[in-house]
């Protein structure tokens, strides 16, 4: 059971953005997407989420071609936290978080609803925000709320073995270091519970430390994929980012200034 992209190419308005990409998101693993601005990370995430159709190739969720899944079915398998957070009408934080439950396809009357919300609000440290108006939150606080929504969408009873996936586009942008660390801990916990995680990261040292696998994108292509030690190499980083870098092993550390 995986999400598998096979030879996908994508374009927007006739402009080719992704070319011949193959990639797998495995349950229980964190896969970091790295690469320079404009490399195609967000576009790839949209294709893997099923929000943008590839012009070539296919994406499979647990062996089902996503071309055959409707919005509700896709929402059942994966939740997405986009890079640009959507503008929202005047909702409370509680409303926003609970939207994840609706996308989960379960009813508010479900016995699990209150337990699930409480668990996730606690995990994400947002209990002090829960009664605020969403639009009055800072950028970082809004990110944490959307993260909680995305997690609630994937909440499942302990006895369900179905694989689910979390797709996060630069979730750490705007977060202070405490919230960055606590969000990473929640992501690791989600992975430990069997969720497959795709996360776009800019910080190469965090990718090295935190991800099980790294996929490096450049100019719409995957130029490296594998364990961090095999992808975050001096040669590849120098050629992709066009700056001198210094890579040290054990623990893998990248310096560039
Ligand atoms: P990344 O997330 O790696 O920074 P994106 O996937 O957002 O990159 O974008 C990849 C490339 O596609 C960029 O050059 C971007 O300008 C371009 N692009 C993205 N969306 C559109 C669009 N709607 N129309 C035209 N070009 C786009
Ligand atoms: Mg992006």
Q: What is the pLDDT of residue 108?
A: 64
From the CB of 13, is ligand 1 less than 6 Å away?
yes
> What are 223's strand-pairing partners?
none
**Confidence category of residue 241, pLDDT binned at 50, 70, 90:** very high
CA atoms within 13 A on the CB side of 57: 21
Q: How far does the centroid of ligand 2 lie from the alpha carbon of residue 154, in Å?
A: 23
**Confidence category of residue 163, pLDDT binned at 50, 70, 90:** confident
**Confidence category of residue 84, pLDDT binned at 50, 70, 90:** confident
The whole-angstrom separation of Cα 111 and Cα 132 is: 25
Q: Ligand 1 pocket test: which of 38, 46, 167 has the largest number of ligand atoms within 8 Å of its C-beta?
A: 38
Q: What is the pLDDT of residue 158?
A: 63
Instruction: Indicate which atom in ligand 1 lies nearest the CA of residue 18.
Output: 10
Q: What is the pLDDT of residue 105?
A: 65
Q: What is the pLDDT of residue 159?
A: 63
Q: What is the pLDDT of residue 156?
A: 78
Least confidently predicted of 16-30, 159-173, 241-255: 159-173
From the CB of 47, is ligand 1 less than 6 Å away?
no
From the CB of 38, is ligand 1 less than 6 Å away?
yes
Q: What is the pLDDT of residue 183?
A: 95
User: Computed from CA positions of residues 212, 213, 218, 224, in that sequence, does the dihedral angle turn out positive or negative?
Assistant: positive
Q: What is the phi/psi pair of residue 169, to 5°? A: -100, 105
Least confidently predicted of 85-94, 130-139, 172-181: 85-94
For atom 14 of ligand 1, the residue with the nearest CA is: 38
For atom 23 of ligand 1, the residue with the nearest CA is: 12
The whole-angstrom separation of Cα 73 and Cα 50 is: 11
pLDDT above 80 (res 243):
yes
**Contacting residues for 244 by C-beta, under 8 A, at least 6 apart:** 238, 256
**Confidence category of residue 111, pLDDT binned at 50, 70, 90:** confident
Q: How far does the centroid of ligand 2 lie from the alpha carbon of residue 172, in Å?
A: 13
Q: Residue 151's Cα: distance from chain center in Å? A: 11
**Confidence category of residue 48, pLDDT binned at 50, 70, 90:** very high
From the CB of 35, is ligand 1 less than 6 Å away?
yes
Domains of the chain by start residue, with CATH = 3-256 (3.40.50.300)
Instruction: Indicate which atom in ligand 1 lies nearest the CA of residue 37.
Output: 4
From the CB of 144, is ligand 1 less than 6 Å away?
no
Q: What is the pLDDT of residue 138?
A: 92
Read off the pLDDT of residues 122-151 as tens digits, 9 standing for 90 and up: 999 999 999 999 999 999 999 999 999 999
The whole-angstrom separation of Cα 180 and Cα 153 is: 21
**Confidence category of residue 1, pLDDT binned at 50, 70, 90:** confident
Portion of the chain with pLDDT greater than 70, in percent: 95
Q: What is the pLDDT of residue 104?
A: 67
């Amino acid at each position: 059971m995986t999400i598998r992209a096979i030879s996908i190419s994508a374009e927007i308005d006739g402009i080719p953005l992704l070319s011949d990409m193959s990639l797998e998101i495995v349950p229980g693993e964190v896969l970091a997407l790295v690469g320079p601005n404009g490399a195609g990370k967000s576009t790839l995430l949209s294709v893997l989420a099923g929000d943008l159709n590839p012009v070539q190739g296919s994406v499979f969720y647990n062996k089902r071609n996503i071309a055959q899944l409707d919005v509700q079915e896709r929402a059942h398998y994966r939740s997405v936290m986009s890079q640009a957070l959507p503008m929202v009408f005047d909702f409370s934080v509680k409303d926003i978080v609970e939207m994840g439950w609706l996308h989960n396809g379960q009813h508010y009357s479900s016995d699990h609803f209150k337990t699930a919300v409480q668990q996730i609000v606690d995990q994400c440290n947002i209990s002090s925000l829960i009664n605020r108006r969403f639009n009055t939150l800072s950028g970082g606080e809004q990110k944490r709320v959307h993260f909680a929504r995305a997690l609630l969408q994937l909440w499942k009873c302990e006895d369900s073995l179905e694989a689910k996936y979390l797709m996060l586009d630069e979730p750490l942008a705007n977060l202070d270091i405490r919230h960055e660390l606590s969000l990473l801990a929640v992501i690791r916990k989600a992975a430990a519970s069997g969720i497959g995680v795709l996360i776009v990261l800019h910080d190469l040292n965090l990718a090295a430390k935190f991800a099980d696998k790294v996929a490096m994108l450049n100019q719409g292509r995957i130029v490296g994929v594998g364990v961090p030690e095999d992808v975050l190499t001096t040669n590849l980083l120098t050629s992709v980012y066009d700056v001198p870098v210094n890579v040290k092993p054990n623990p893998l550390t990248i310096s560039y200034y």
